[in-house]
Structure 1
Amino acid sequence: MAQTAESTPSPASEASGKIDLTAPEWYLNRELTWLAFNRRVLNEAEDERTPLLERVKFLAIVSSNLDEFFMKRVGGLKQQLGAGVQELSVDGRSPEQQLRECEAEVRAIKERKDDLFPQLHALLNAADIHLSRYAELDKTAQATLREWYLENIYPLLTPIGMDPAHPFPFISNLSLNLLVTVNQPDGARGPRLVRIKVPVGGGIPRFIRIGESAHFVPLEDIIAYNLDKLLPELEIQRWDLFRVTRNAIVERYEEQANDLLQVIEAELRDRKFAPTVRLEVSDGMPPVHRGMLAAELGLDEATDVFEVDGLMQRRDLMELLALDRPDLKDPPHHPIEHPKLMDAPNIFHLIRNSGPILLQHPYESFATSVERFLREASQDPKVLAIKMTLYRTARKSKIIEYLIDAAENGKQVAVAVELKARFDEEANVRWANSLEEAGIHVSYGVIGLKTHAKAIFVLRRDYDGLRRYAHLGTGNYHAGTARLYSDLGLLTSDPVLGEDLTELFNFLTTGYVANRRYTKLLPAPTNLKRALLEKIAREIALHSPENPGLIRFKTNALEDSEIARALYRASMAGVQVELIVRDSCRLRAGVPGLSENIRIISIVGRFLEHARIYYFRNGGDEEYFIGSADCMKRNLEARVETIVPVEDPECQGMLREILDIQLRDRRSAWDMQPDGQYVQRQPGEGDDPRSAHEILIERAQKRVRASGRKKLHGRDKRRGRLLS
């Protein structure tokens, strides 16, 4: 299933005989298509072909995704509604309509989650992984947990009463809370309510392990059944759980700010106290308590309150993935070293002499490619300067370490840190301060634009003069996500791209556009959208029956209406359009007369699809581009992005292979239908039943083996010449 089915319009109904490409019926809703993507993710948790702990992982991912959806998307829609915005979206919906339809869709997903959890719980028990309630334990286990609780948790708890003398307390975002109903010993004042925050995080797990076995109890259960010391001499009548989600859209007006760092720090403070957008309550909470919470939090009980059947905050189930149960997980994947990098003593010599190198993560190692590139740059005495963009990075980041090393080694280092990377602002403020303390020039990008580009730029004094080296990628410089996200990168010493990057970093450090010209690089917001529209128009102009046009995009989202209209025009002209879109997509595929030449698939599987590839057949003179930008209005018009051409035939062949494998996928691919719904493909007789991810893992391993055989053959030939 996918988003709520919308009727499939027929172009034949157009009285003029022509299709009005601005008509809302041709476009799908961004929010609903994103929720439809989460239905596909949830399907992986329901699919019996998926190993058990991976199914648990996908359930946790959907729960986490919905948290973010409420913080970002529902929060934004509520702001529009509160501001009286009446402007309709491209698909013809008002903010209020979008909120109501999203609410219905979220409730449908929640029902599926609630139905699925007991099934997974039973399967975990059968696999000797037990998630028990405290009351189900024997007296010995209860005594052990009580002792642990009194030593480790009890001192952290702060019970807060709620009565006329104690006003309703502040409830922090995404916190798990106990609402305890207590009676005074004499019963004179009637029942009272006490709120206790469950202190998950900061090294405290949600699921507490009993001994060394795979037996866990939720932390809130341990607290709830040991309230006698926390609330002495009070009769515990009942306890319930609740959780709130707050709006994350609290951006301040930065154009008049003197210090962007202070603005971000203020936004982080504001977010803690932002309006609530969702209340989750445990199944069976008394209506009077539920209504009280909704009223105190300023929520509509009918639309904003969600009753959870069973375990709340299922995102924490991700903790179970740490169990050493390989029999219940995907086969272990160890990223291989890129064959060209394996025996290269100097990465700069290799790039200069062998040409560009295409990196495929997570199939190829991030540590031995991107991190190595930066490490060698920080140590190489011939490297004079390093510049890079930083959007997100790992908590214990080698990237930061190597940048600081470079500065200490006397190199000029400049970093454009994006402070407004959503939910990573606090970490990026910390990194920015650390870099500045090391003497690194830190800029915060350009006012009004997020810096989303992924680029490292190295200036080196080679034997023949100054040479520019670069890494341009599709993913963040984050070692953790590089093992989970499917991304691409290009190591190159192309002098023209080097000149373009010089212009880009001058723009980032000064914030001044001037008359900057780019020869190969396609940056947003200045060049990229126009270039994509021009290339689509060129594909239409070059198309003929003898020389058919072909456009292939692989992107996370396709939301920009101008790009969507251009692709519709290409389809109507006969150009084949093949799109691999992970989540939100405005286009309808396969509508007769409109998009019958458009095929749209979504890949959902072991790795999160994150790479962006743009391909144009261009009359046979093929063009390939990779980069950081999705086809979204915000990326094309309100962010600094980079798309880079991939011109090397070998690298182009690798990109072609990725697209071909994913377009043929019969395990993880979903086909969009004309009404916007998706249908999962099933392998037929003779089809490869493996997912694209499994096939690409195998291809990477084959490249290493082939490289090893080639090198061994070369050594044998040299040995033979010596013997002769």
Structure 2
Amino acid sequence: MSSHPIIELPQTAPREASELYFNRELSWLAFNERVLAEASNTSYPLLERLRFLAISGSNLDEFVMIRVAGLAGQVQRGIDRPAIDGRTPSQQLAAVRERVASVAARQQQVWEELHALLGEAGIHVADERRVDPEALEWLREYFLEEILPVITPQALDPAHPFPFVANRGLGLLFTLTRNSDGQQLIEMILIPSALPRFVRVPGEASIYISITSLICRFADHVFPGFTIHGDGLFRILRDSDIEIEEEAEDLVRTFRSAIQRRRRGRVIQLEIEVDFDPVAEQVLLEQTGVSDALVLKSKGIIGLDCLNEIVDADRSDLKFLSYTPRYPERIREHDGDCFAAIREKDIVIHHPYESFEVVVDFLRQAASDPDVVAIKQTLYRAGNQSAIINALIAAAEEGKSVTAVVEIKARFDEEQNLMWAAKLERAGVQVIYGFVDWKTHAKVAMVVRREEDGFRTYCHFGTGNYHPVTARIYTDLSFFTAAPEFGRDAAKLFNFVSGYVEPRSTEALVISPLNLRDELCAAIEREIAHARAGRPAAIWIKCNQITDQAMIDRLYEASEAGVEIDLVVRGICCLRPGVEGLSENIRVKSIIGRFLEHGRIYAFANGHPMPSGEAKVYISSADLMERNLDRRVEAMIPILNHTVHDQVLQQVLLANMLDTEQSWLLAPDGSYARIVAEDRPFNCHHYFMTNPSLSGRGEALDPDAIPKLALRKGRAA
């Protein structure tokens, strides 16, 4: 595998926490810096680079609204409990704000680079110099007809107090003099969220003018009889976390109220234009009460997520070649009968390379099949146009027993999920909201079907959400099985969530917060025992985050015992690899590319060289985070079928281990560096996009047509 220098820390005294672990918040910011770096990746088409810039902006907004807000709240309440690396909340807040400002400055630098390149490619953004008189007249008419009726200027004076600005709200401040009496005024215009951020000028040339610049240009129509001296654009981010008391009597009503409060959370960050009118700026700072908030001044675009409107431009030459997921051959072999295919043998589906439509078809078929008597489904994030929801409603209307566990605590999807819950209930679906203090994060669906030899349960377990949009860009695994032990365990999981009936034992499924942590610890202990006995010992993990101190310490113990540990961690990693006497046998890398790595796979060598058919392999909805292991309902699924086992371990996981073109190596000092392949570079996304179906291909395709992967000094062979 890829290697990095080993750092030897002095052992004259016990190691400090800062020597053992990375800070969670700073590690997340390092992740977003890797996302931002893709915006400068010249191997990507230009609009895809712009997409990465927009994603990094949206990511940073959410981080500020949740994580920075949380730290600010702890400081405000006098909480001094240290983080995993020993920093107090106030120390973290200072370091995080400094890093946020640095990331924001870099984002604007990248925007300047891309802005110029877009112009060269014929896409002109916020470039009013290219607007000819005819186009200017069209813009004026557009402003008068489409914008002016929607916006509302408000004077700021004792009779008109400073208005409330919603979270992520944009506003313009103007300094004016009334011509009739010479009185000076400050006026505010809040930009309605219903308006687009950019207007495309008609014509062959792709010219995009921002709404805010249009308002400033035609402000004389808003303020007739006034002289305009200056203006400035600002944007506010507010505390958006939701805290629910465990004693809440009505979870739905409590959440509806909490969502309303979130919109009015305290200001955490204020962004303003660098050339903001100084008089208006002073008023803004005083009225928004940002004395303890981060104030960022920008000379570029405020609210970078708006650039997605430009990414959507009809320029296929500046985007990735379109990709259509394959429909699994195994299902096709059975003429689209999902139940027949699953009954024959377990199936694993690799999204987005294989279509999420098979999951939808599984539920649609269950809804229309007269032999299906019951459907149970967890819903964490389902999107705003969900075929899954429609299938459940159709099943209920067909008279089937349908139960949906709707997690209304899914951050930023609370309102959407409340809406789905109400719609499902109206259709006759039994809606369960789960635990007050735990989120139900497991991705499980079970279908009970009446067959000749009795009732049979068909199960779907996923590493990702039942969300048709993210399923096209997130890499995840869907596992289908009709094995009786999985059906019995799935039923126990649903009874646990719906009736708090804690299962005394399970046959196959591992469930948090009941026994998932213990099972992982036991698996690590077995690898330690193999290493000490001189047998091959290795751990391969692919997940999104590693922050749990106890799990990190177990991995350190395994490293010291000689277990070879390779981790593919997309985002936060608090584990410090490559430290002599602590983690010299641990390597950590992050894959950032066209698709977002989201699936969780845990593999243990089990006394045999990795990868082998004897390894213990699991897929899961859980990351190695305290919340996943102790405060969420999660599922970890052992892969027992030999064919599926090889597909998950020796195709999906191995390809991630071998990737060099999209991988960043984590160094002992916390920095990340792109891996540069000496020869034969390997791109795991390209590999899966260009090969026949790896999961459930049956006998329809020649298995020799699929390039085999092998572990040879860290290269694909």
Q: TM-score range by the shorter chain?
A: over 0.9
- The one-letter code sitting in structure 1 at the alignment partner of 2:209 is V
Check conservation: 1:250, 1:274, Cα contact below 8 A.
Answer: no
Q: Distance in 1 between matches of 2:701 and 2:537?
A: 39
2:311 equivalent in structure 1: 321
Asked if 1:124 is matched to 2:103, the reply is no
Q: Distance in 2 between matches of 1:700 and 1:322?
A: 30
Q: Which runs of 5+ in 1 are unaligned?
A: 1-6, 714-724
Counterpart of 2:495 (choices 488, 506, 521) is 506
Relative distance call for 1:245 and 1:700 in structure 2 (3 A) is farther
Check conservation: 1:8, 1:675, Cα contact below 8 A.
Answer: no
Q: Distance in 1 between matches of 2:280 and 2:601?
A: 52
Matched ranges for 1:15-164 at <5 A: 15=13, 23-134=17-128, 136-164=130-158
Q: Distance in 2 between matches of 1:119 and 1:586?
A: 32
Relative distance call for 1:704 and 1:352 in structure 2 (3 A) is closer
Asked if 1:480 is matched to 2:473, the reply is no
Asked if 1:434 is matched to 2:428, the reply is no
1:223 equivalent in structure 2: 215
Counterpart of 1:517 (choices 505, 508, 522) is 505
Segment drifting more, 260-269 vs 650-659: 650-659
Measure how far apart 1:292 and its partner are: 3.0
1:643 equivalent in structure 2: 636
Asked if 1:308 is matched to 2:267, the reply is no
Q: Distance in 2 between matches of 1:376 and 1:67?
A: 40
Relative distance call for 1:235 and 1:707 in structure 2 (3 A) is farther
1:622 equivalent in structure 2: 615
Q: Distance in 2 between matches of 1:102 and 1:422?
A: 22
Q: Distance in 2 between matches of 1:704 and 1:402?
A: 24
Segment drifting more, 539-548 vs 475-484: 539-548
Q: Distance in 2 between matches of 1:189 and 1:211?
A: 40
Q: Distance in 2 between matches of 1:150 and 1:691?
A: 51
Q: Distance in 1 between matches of 2:109 and 2:702?
A: 54
Q: Distance in 2 between matches of 1:25 and 1:295?
A: 42
Measure how far apart 1:558 and its partner are: 0.2
Q: Distance in 1 between matches of 2:68 and 2:96?
A: 8
1:389 equivalent in structure 2: 378
Segment drifting more, 318-327 vs 152-161: 318-327
Measure how far apart 1:300 and its partner are: 2.8
Relative distance call for 1:500 and 1:573 in structure 2 (3 A) is same
- The one-letter code sitting in structure 1 at the alignment partner of 2:385 is K
Relative distance call for 1:477 and 1:326 in structure 2 (3 A) is same
Q: Secondary structure at the match of 2:175?
A: strand
1:167 equivalent in structure 2: 161
- The one-letter code sitting in structure 2 at the alignment partner of 1:297 is T
- The one-letter code sitting in structure 2 at the alignment partner of 1:151 is E
Matched ranges for 1:484-563 at <5 A: 484-513=473-502, 515-544=503-532, 546-563=534-551
2:687 equivalent in structure 1: 695
Measure how far apart 1:426 and its partner are: 0.6
Check conservation: 1:371, 1:398, Cα contact below 8 A.
Answer: yes
Matched ranges for 1:648-667 at <5 A: 648-656=641-649, 657-667=651-661
Measure how far apart 1:287 and its partner are: 4.1
Q: Distance in 2 between matches of 1:616 and 1:133?
A: 56
2:12 equivalent in structure 1: 14
Measure how far apart 1:50 and its partner are: 1.5
- The one-letter code sitting in structure 2 at the alignment partner of 1:347 is C
Counterpart of 2:273 (choices 261, 282, 307) is 282
Relative distance call for 1:362 and 1:709 in structure 2 (3 A) is closer
- Percent identity, aligned pairs only, is 40
Check conservation: 1:337, 1:365, Cα contact below 8 A.
Answer: yes
Q: Secondary structure at the match of 1:277?
A: strand
Q: Distance in 2 between matches of 1:126 and 1:556?
A: 37
Q: Distance in 1 between matches of 2:540 and 2:91?
A: 33
TM-score normalized by the length of structure 2: 0.93
Q: Distance in 1 between matches of 2:409 and 2:188?
A: 33
Measure how far apart 1:419 and its partner are: 0.4
Check conservation: 1:336, 1:704, Cα contact below 8 A.
Answer: no
Measure how far apart 1:129 and its partner are: 1.1
- The one-letter code sitting in structure 2 at the alignment partner of 1:268 is I
Measure how far apart 1:107 and its partner are: 1.5
Q: Distance in 1 between matches of 2:12 and 2:181?
A: 73
1:347 equivalent in structure 2: 338
Relative distance call for 1:636 and 1:212 in structure 2 (3 A) is farther
Matched ranges for 1:368-387 at <5 A: 369-387=358-376
Please report the RMSD computed on the Cα atoms of aligned residues, expressed in angstroms.
2.0
Aligned residue-pair number:
692
Please list the CA deviations of residues 220-273 of structure 1 after superposition, one character each: whole Å capped at 9, or x if unmatched: 1111111222222111111110000000123231x3222111011001110111
- The one-letter code sitting in structure 1 at the alignment partner of 2:289 is G
Check conservation: 2:330, 2:697, Cα contact below 8 A.
Answer: no
Measure how far apart 1:110 and its partner are: 1.5
Matched ranges for 1:218-297 at <5 A: 218-253=210-245, 255-297=246-288
Please list the CA deviations of residues 265-305 of structure 1 after superposition, one character each: whole Å capped at 9, or x if unmatched: 0011101111010000011124443343233222237x610
2:325 equivalent in structure 1: 335
Measure how far apart 1:24 and its partner are: 3.8
Asked if 1:207 is matched to 2:198, the reply is yes
Measure how far apart 1:216 and its partner are: 1.0
Segment drifting more, 701-710 vs 399-408: 701-710
1:717 equivalent in structure 2: none
2:388 equivalent in structure 1: 399
Check conservation: 1:361, 1:487, Cα contact below 8 A.
Answer: yes
TM-score normalized by the length of structure 1: 0.93
Relative distance call for 1:507 and 1:43 in structure 2 (3 A) is same
2:708 equivalent in structure 1: none
Check conservation: 1:666, 1:687, Cα contact below 8 A.
Answer: no
Check conservation: 2:126, 2:209, Cα contact below 8 A.
Answer: yes
Check conservation: 1:240, 1:285, Cα contact below 8 A.
Answer: yes
Please list the CA deviations of residues 555-580 of structure 1 after superposition, one character each: whole Å capped at 9, or x if unmatched: 00000000000000000000001000
- The one-letter code sitting in structure 1 at the alignment partner of 2:207 is H
Q: Secondary structure at the match of 2:607?
A: helix
Check conservation: 2:530, 2:537, Cα contact below 8 A.
Answer: yes
Check conservation: 2:39, 2:48, Cα contact below 8 A.
Answer: yes
